[in-house]
Amino acid sequence: MNSNYTIHSINHHFGWDNSNPPIIRVKTGETIEIDTVDSSGGQLNVNSKIKDVENLDFSKVNPVTGPIFVENAKLGDVIEVEILDFISSGWGWTAIIPGFGLLADEFNQPDLNIWKYDKSNPTNTLYSTYGKIPLKPFIGT
């Protein structure tokens, strides 16, 4: 797929803030390729271990990419974004992070599972020591 612009993964920040200047300006109908960072802000990777979960810096989690300025958009306009393609990474992670999440009181020991899957078929079913999980990749923040 050809795109008019590319936003690289280094162009992210932490937290929604409308005072951040746009990193790119686009016109209606133009396409953008966006390379995003995972929810750990790149602190976890395919080789991570439980110790990496224990050392997460929460000031670097949940990065957002952008903002993107749409030329000719006016206050109150609705902007439709169409996802033309989604290229998965071939891996992901699930963790128990002590003190974080809905069941924080129930789970106080960190744990980490690295999921690896076939990038050419990202809707495969994953298998691990914990069970069988149908994979449904999503774009994130």
- Over residues 108-118, the pLDDT tens digits come to 899 998 888 77
Nearest Cα residue to 133 out of 106, 99, 102, 94: 94
Q: Please give the backbone phi and psi of residue 93, each rounded to the nearest 5 degrees, phi first.
A: -140, 155
Beta pairing partners, 14: 63
What confidence score (pLDDT) does residue 85 get? 85
- Over residues 62-71, the pLDDT tens digits come to 898 889 999 9
Peptide bond just before 67 cis, omega within 30 deg: yes
Using the predicted structure, report yes or no on whether residue 141 has a pLDDT greater than 60: no
Query: How does residue 123 score in pLDDT terms, banded at 50, 70 and 90?
Result: low
Are 84 and 106 spatial neighbours (Cβ–Cβ below 8 Å)? no
Mean pLDDT of 16-32: 91
- Over residues 48-100, the pLDDT tens digits come to 999 999 999 999 998 988 899 999 999 999 999 998 888 888 888 889 998 88
Are 36 and 137 spatial neighbours (Cβ–Cβ below 8 Å)? no
Query: How does residue 3 score in pLDDT terms, banded at 50, 70 and 90?
Result: confident
Q: What's 99's DSSP letter?
A: T
- Classify strands 5-7 and 32-34 as parallel, antiparallel or unpaired: parallel
